[in-house]
Amino acid sequence: MRVCFFTTDFPPTVGGISEFSRSIAYHMAESQDVARVHVVALLNRESGTETPNMKLTIIRDSRKSFISIAWNIFRYALRFGAYDVFHATSVFPVGFLTVLIGRYIFRKPVFVTFYGTDVLATLGSKKTKWAKVWTLKHATKALAFSYSTRDEAAQRHSMPVERFEVVYYPLSDEPPVISPETVESLRKKYGIASDDFVVLFVGHLVRRKGPEDLVEALSLIKDEKVKLLFVGAGPMEAELRSRSESHGLGTRVIFAGAQDAKPLYPLAGVFSMPSFFYKEEGDIEGLGIVFLA
């Protein structure tokens, strides 16, 4: 079987969807049933090609207009020959265009993965919302990240639940190995003592992930050895910094920015990411990949 993935989220871009795209492509390439895997990563900062192993090729393209995305999906599908399956790891515009081109020009099965807010959000133009629903209806299968997300999407768009399948994040059999030297270097970098108790948050700093709740909770704990480490960036960062200052938390709240979080887990005593579903807005945390790390 030959599989082609189209995605806008792929490392070195950080985030849960990027990690899902990377992990599922690499796992596919390791399968004995798969002869070849191509990943076409669109909207990248730079263009280029890499071949991590004999069965996997990653093509990066930096062009960003809607027309150029459509053209790239068509030309890469044509260039690499007879694929058996196409898979888009985002719904719009990549999923929409992959279904349109893959199913109705190349006549191949097309699978589209969705995560929650991307198909449930009430914000956005009518055209975009129509395109997302059309994609879910016309993909060979729409793949949800969790059963709760599948059920919410089916109910919201009045589709039979059989239209969807649930595909969880593929985990590696081997946990990452983080050296003691790396851990000690990170402690020094972020001012974390070996006897500090660190609460770790990893993710995009947005309301549905509840980062402000952690700041408020920390403000109720007077022990200076209890600290909060945010790994990630997002629109709430300025507000979180302001809240931390107003509570006099000073160096107890640490903002590490968006980066590979794996080396930072050994610093923590506990991981926490409060999650909310703002139903009126369709803003949902379908399944936080960081909980699986």
One-character DSSP codes across 104-165:
HTS---EEEEE-SHHHH---S-HHHHHHHHHHHHHSSEEEESSHHHHHHHHHHTT--GGGEE
Residue 68 maps to a domain: yes
Q: Do 10 and 39 belong to one domain?
A: yes
Neighbouring residues of 34: CB distance < 8 A, sequence distance ≥ 6? 1, 2, 3, 28, 55
Q: Do 158 and 184 belong to one domain?
A: no
Q: Do 115 and 201 belong to one domain?
A: no
User: Average model confidence (pLDDT) for the chain?
Assistant: 91
Q: Do 109 and 204 belong to one domain?
A: no
Residue with tokens 């930096």: 62
Q: Which of 137, 166, 195 is the last residue of a domain?
A: 166
Q: Do 6 and 126 belong to one domain?
A: yes
Comparing CA positions, the residue from 77, 79, 31, 86 lying closest to residue 53 is 31
* Cis peptide upstream of residue 170 (ω within 30 degrees of 0): no
Residue 120 has a pLDDT of 84
pLDDT band of 293, cuts 50, 70, 90: low
Residue 64 maps to a domain: yes
Residue 101 has a pLDDT of 95
Residue 161 maps to a domain: yes
Q: Model-level pTM?
A: 0.81
pLDDT surpassing 70 at residue 17 = yes
Q: Do 93 and 230 belong to one domain?
A: no
Q: Do 218 and 77 belong to one domain?
A: no
CB 286 within 8 A of CB 149: yes
Q: Do 74 and 149 belong to one domain?
A: yes
CB 73 within 8 A of CB 104: no
Question: Averaged over 228-244, what is the pLDDT?
Answer: 96
Residue 103 has a pLDDT of 95
Residue 174 maps to a domain: no
Helices 94-104 and 66-79: crossing angle, nearest 10°?
40
Q: Which of 166, 197, 225 is the last residue of a domain?
A: 166
- CATH of residue 47's domain is 3.40.50.2000
Q: Which residues of 107-133 are buried (b: 16+ CB within 10 A; e: fewer)?
A: ebebbbbbbbbbbbbeeeeeeebebbb
Total structural domains within the chain: 2
pLDDT surpassing 80 at residue 80 = no
pLDDT surpassing 70 at residue 269 = yes
Q: Do 156 and 197 belong to one domain?
A: no
Q: Do 34 and 133 belong to one domain?
A: yes
Residue 155 maps to a domain: yes
Q: Do 23 and 129 belong to one domain?
A: yes
pLDDT digit string, tens, across residues 99-110: 999 999 999 999
pLDDT digit string, tens, across residues 25-43: 999 999 999 999 999 999 8
pLDDT band of 46, cuts 50, 70, 90: confident
Query: The domain containing residue 127 runs over which residues?
Result: 2-166
Number of other residues whose CB lies within 10 A of the CB of residue 41: 25
Neighbouring residues of 239: CB distance < 8 A, sequence distance ≥ 6? 212
Question: Averaged over 197-217, what is the pLDDT?
Answer: 95
Residue 2 has a pLDDT of 92
Residue 81 has a pLDDT of 65
Residue 198 has a pLDDT of 98
Q: Which of 166, 200, 233 is the last residue of a domain?
A: 166
Q: Do 199 and 127 belong to one domain?
A: no
